Amino acid sequence: MHTETAVVLAIQDDIRRYSIEGMLRSLDIPFAVQFITDIEDLSTFRNGRLIISSSDALRSAPDEIAENLRIHNINVLILVDSADVVEQSWVDRANGFLDWADLRPETLREAIVDVKDGRFHVSPTLVRRSVTAPERAGDDSTSKRASMIALTTREQQVLRLIAEGQSNRQVARSLSISEHGVKRAVGIILAKLNCPNRTLAVVRAMESGLLVM
What's the CA gap between 212 and 128, in Å, rounded?
24
Does the residue 151 lie in any domain? yes
Element containing residue 131 per DSSP (H, E):
none
For residues 54 and 158, state if they share a domain: no
Strands of the sheet with 121-122, listed across from one edge: 31-35, 5-10, 50-54, 75-80, 96-99, 121-122
Q: Which of 113, 128, 143 is the last residue of a domain?
A: 128
State the Cα–Cα distance between residues 193 and 191, nearest whole angstrom. 5
Res 114: pLDDT: 87
Domain check: are 146 and 117 in the same one? Answer: no
- How many C-beta atoms surround the C-beta of residue 117 within 10 A? 8
Count CB-CB contacts under 10 A for residue 208: 18
What is the pLDDT, as a whole number, of residue 141?
47
The string over 48-87, giving b where at least 16 C-beta atoms fall within 10 Å of a residue's C-beta and e elsewhere, is ebbbbbbbebbeebeeebbebbeeeebbbbbbbeeeeebe
pLDDT of res. 77 = 92
Contacts of 62 (CB under 8 A, 6+ apart): 40, 43
pLDDT per position as a tens digit, 101-131: 899 999 999 999 888 887 888 887 776 665 4
Domain span at 188: 134-207
pLDDT value, residue 20: 93
Instruction: Output the pLDDT for position 175.
Output: 94
Residue 120 is classified by DSSP as -
- The number of distinct structural domains making up the chain is 2
Of 51, 49, 44, 91, which Cα lies nearest the Cα of 68? 44
Identify whether 111 is part of a domain: yes
Return d(Cα 115, Cα 69) in angstroms, integer: 14
What is the rounded CA–CA span in Å between residue 212 and residue 206?
6
Q: Which of the listed residues 128, 143, 173 is the one where a domain comes to its end?
A: 128
> What pLDDT, on the 0 to 100 scale, is given for residue 176?
93
From 128, 157, 190, the end of a domain falls on 128
Phi, psi of 15 (to 5 degrees): -65, -45
Q: Please give the sequence-ordered ranges of beta strands (E in DSSP) within 50-194, or none if there are none.
A: 50-54, 75-80, 96-99, 121-122
Question: Within this chain, do residues 191 and 143 fall inside the same structural domain, yes or no?
Answer: yes
Crossing angle (nearest 10°) for helices 198-207 and 153-163: 110
The SS3 assignment for 122 reads strand
Please give the share of the chain, as a percent, with pLDDT higher than 90. Answer: 19
Q: What is the block-wise mean pLDDT of the chain (213 residues), using blocks of 10 residues?
A: 77 91 88 82 79 82 77 87 74 84 92 86 72 42 53 90 88 92 88 79 81 72
Mean pLDDT of the chain: 80
